[in-house]
Amino acid sequence: MSIQGLVQMNKCVNFRNKLLDLVFSDIDSTVVGVASDLLVNNCSNHVALHIDVPFLAEKERLDYRDVQFMFNKGDYIGMNNFLGSSDWSVDNDDMDRTVCKF
């Protein structure tokens, strides 16, 4: 990752004192911490993370001269069929089951 200038920013270990979740950034002011406002309960392998990446402060670093859009290369019929065949219903009583569905 050093070729692209990316650095592992996450130093938050899980309940087993292991670092499993990777957060790469080339912005030194990126802050990674344990989230305090959980959507679902933590599991033993992955704690919920709060990641603050100051994109707006780094706006001048972006270079759009090399951006090329090739919309003609997209398989839109395939994407539409895939998305259309997905079950988009949500089980509000069991968010873990809903997340596992996706």
Q: For 50-61, how does the pLDDT look when each residue is reduced to its tens digit (9 = 90+)?
A: 999 887 555 566
What's the Rg (C-alpha) of the chain? Answer: 19
C-alpha torsion sign, points 33, 37, 39, 45: positive
Phi, psi of 50, rounded to the nearest 5 degrees: -110, 120
Q: What is the dihedral of CA 88, 93, 99, 102, to 10 degrees?
A: -20
pLDDT band at 40 (very low <50, low <70, confident <90, very high): confident
Helix (H, G, I), strand (E, B) or coil at 79: helix
Tokens 């002011």 correspond to: 29
Q: pTM of the prediction? A: 0.49
